[in-house]
């Protein structure tokens, strides 16, 4: 069953691990650089080192006062006196630094994020910078690369389609947006198939869905059918040990299989495809299939009945119509440059 809500833990383990390493390194660098500046100041202004030593001892003094018994002065007054001593030391430290040409915070770590000090968390809540980093790493990890920047719902241009097919494409766009909004809900459509000729926007809408879901915290993997089959073949038939990289096709929340039908068809690829589709259906995980096959009948001719029955029975299908919008755009650009 898919998640209804998303959080930091909803990102893949690999993504979270890389982002944690990134934050750990940022924080470590800021602290090390602060220590270098502190050492510099200690050499030039020894009085600052003496004050820092005194400040470090105030915490121990507070603890010691709390343990003392029989003192006629109330504990609150003794603690406040120590706090006042601390404030005076801080003020003196700032004055000495200023006289030496330094800012009061010169020796403090310079974190990139002032809200979380590069920890990624404000209290127990994830900081905005952590969410952005998780999204950025998820973009890189998805397999979509630069397509995520170039292809979105906002720049899917319906006007590029001929008038006779525009209403159908408007309907597909609306339904795809709804799919991206509803993904993760209990009763949503989890699997869809885009079919139709080349250059009709199937990959564009698949990418738009991927971006939306990654931004919501879902684990998305995109790959072509050809690459997926090559990955499984290499893992299965290689004469040397190769790292297992096929787990992602089963574990991700949404798998986008692009260009189905481009892979070399044999018993192994058919068995592999069936295993992927069936395993994901049993696990209640979402899948988008994009294919240049023109119809379900064409799919029946290319694949065995087990695969077709899974798609027909469990996928909502959308047939893309019109002219190749990439060629249409290219022609318009050429005409506009004349």
Whether residues 165 and 310 share a domain: the answer is: yes
Comparing 237 with 130, the larger pLDDT belongs to 130
pLDDT at 304 over 60: yes
Distance, in Å, from the CA atom of 227 to the CA atom of 215, rounded to the nearest integer, reads 25
Q: Facing residues of 229 across strands?
A: none
Mean pLDDT for 72-101 is 85
Task: Kindly report which listed range (109-123, 138-152, 169-183) carries the lowest average pLDDT score.
Answer: 138-152
Contact 209, 254 (CB under 8 A): yes
CA-wise closest residue to 291 among 269, 329, 263, 330: 263
CATH assignment of the domain containing 282: 3.40.50.300
DSSP conformation letters of 217-251: T--EEEEEHHHHHHHHHHHHH-SS------HHHHH
Average pLDDT over residues 275-294: 93
DSSP code, position 288: E
Poorest-confidence range of 239-253, 270-284, 301-315? 239-253
The percent of residues in the chain predicted with pLDDT above 90, rounded, is 50
158/296 same-domain check: yes
With respect to residue 222, please indicate whether it lies within any of the assigned structural domains.
Answer: yes
User: Cβ atoms within 10 A of the Cβ of 320, count?
Assistant: 23
Nearest to 211 by CA among 251, 169, 127, 151: 151
Q: What range does the domain containing 97 cover?
A: 46-101
Q: What is the per-residue pLDDT for 329?
A: 61
Q: How far apart are CA 19 and CA 238, in angstroms?
A: 32
Q: What is the DSSP letter of 285?
A: -
CA dihedral for 77, 78, 84, 90, sign (positive or negative): negative
Residues 285 and 222 in one domain: yes
299 and 224 inside one domain: yes
Q: Would residue 148 count as lying in a domain?
A: yes
User: Please, which pLDDT band fits residue 208 given cuts at 50, 70 and 90?
Assistant: very high
Q: Is the domain of 316 the same as that of 224? A: yes
pLDDT of the residue at 258: 92
Q: Over the stretch 10-20, which tens digit does the pLDDT of each residue have?
A: 788 888 999 99
Kindly tell me if the per-residue pLDDT of 63 is higher than 70. Answer: no
Segment 51-74 mean pLDDT: 75
Question: Is 35 contained in some domain?
Answer: no
Residue 166 lies in a domain: yes
Provide the whole-model pTM: 0.72
Residues 50 and 193 in one domain: no
In a domain, 120, yes or no: no
Q: Does residue 322 or residue 86 have the better pLDDT?
A: 86
The string of pLDDT tens digits covering residues 125-167 is 999 999 889 988 888 888 777 777 788 899 898 988 888 889 9
| 64 occurs within a structural domain | yes
Please say if the pLDDT value at position 4 is more than 60: no
Q: Are 94 and 108 in contact (CB under 8 A)?
A: no
- Average pLDDT value for the chain: 86
Q: Please check whether residues 192 and 333 belong to one and the same domain.
A: yes
Q: Are residues 170 and 285 in the same domain?
A: yes
Higher pLDDT, 202 or 243: 202
Predicted pLDDT of residue 1: 43
What sign for the dihedral angle of Cα 116, 120, 124, 128?
Answer: positive
Q: How many domains does the chain have?
A: 2
| pLDDT score recorded for residue 2 | 46
- Asked whether residue 20 is assigned to any structural domain, the reply reads no
pLDDT value of residue 199: 87
| Contact predicate 215/253, CB 8 Å | no
Is residue 223 domain-shared with residue 87, that is, in the same domain? no
Lowest mean pLDDT among 140-154, 178-192, 276-290: 140-154
Q: In what order do the strands lie in the sheet with 254-260?
A: 220-224, 254-260, 286-291, 191-195, 316-319
Residue 15 maps to a domain: no
């Amino acid at each position: 069953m898919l998640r209804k809500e998303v959080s930091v833990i909803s990102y893949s383990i690999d993504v979270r691990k890389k982002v944690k390493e990134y934050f750990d390194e940022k924080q470590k660098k800021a602290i090390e650089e602060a220590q270098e500046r502190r050492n510099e100041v200690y050499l030039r202004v020894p009085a600052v080192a003496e004050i820092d030593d005194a400040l470090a001892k105030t915490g121990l003094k507070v603890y010691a006062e709390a343990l003392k018994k029989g003192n006629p002065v109330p504990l609150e007054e003794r603690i406040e006196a120590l706090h006042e001593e601390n404030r005076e030391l801080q003020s003196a430290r700032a004055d000495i630094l200023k006289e030496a040409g330094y800012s009061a915070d010169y020796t403090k770590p310079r974190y990139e994020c002032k809200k979380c000090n590069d920890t990624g968390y404000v209290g127990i809540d994830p900081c905005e910078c952590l969410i952005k980093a998780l999204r950025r790493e998820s973009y890189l990890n998805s397999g979509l690369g630069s397509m995520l920047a170039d292809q979105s719902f906002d720049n899917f241009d319906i006007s590029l389609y001929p008038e006779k097919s525009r209403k159908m494409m408007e309907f597909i766009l609306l339904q795809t947006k709804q799919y991206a909004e509803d993904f993760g809900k209990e009763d949503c459509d989890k699997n869809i198939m885009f079919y139709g000729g080349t250059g009709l926007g199937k990959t564009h809408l698949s990418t738009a869905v991927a971006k939306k879901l990654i931004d919501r915290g879902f684990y998305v993997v995109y790959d072509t059918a050809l690459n997926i089959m090559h990955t499984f073949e290499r893992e299965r038939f290689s004469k040397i040990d190769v790292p297992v990289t096929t787990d992602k096709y089963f574990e991700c929340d949404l798998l986008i299989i692009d260009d189905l039908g481009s892979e070399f068809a044999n018993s192994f690829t058919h068995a592999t495809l069936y295993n992927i589709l069936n395993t994901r259906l049993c696990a209640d995980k979402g899948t988008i299939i994009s294919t240049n096959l023109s119809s379900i009948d064409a799919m029946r001719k290319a694949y065995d009945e087990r695969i077709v029955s899974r798609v027909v029975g469990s996928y909502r299908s959308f047939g893309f119509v019109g002219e190749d919008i990439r060629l249409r755009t290219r022609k318009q650009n050429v005409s506009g440059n004349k």
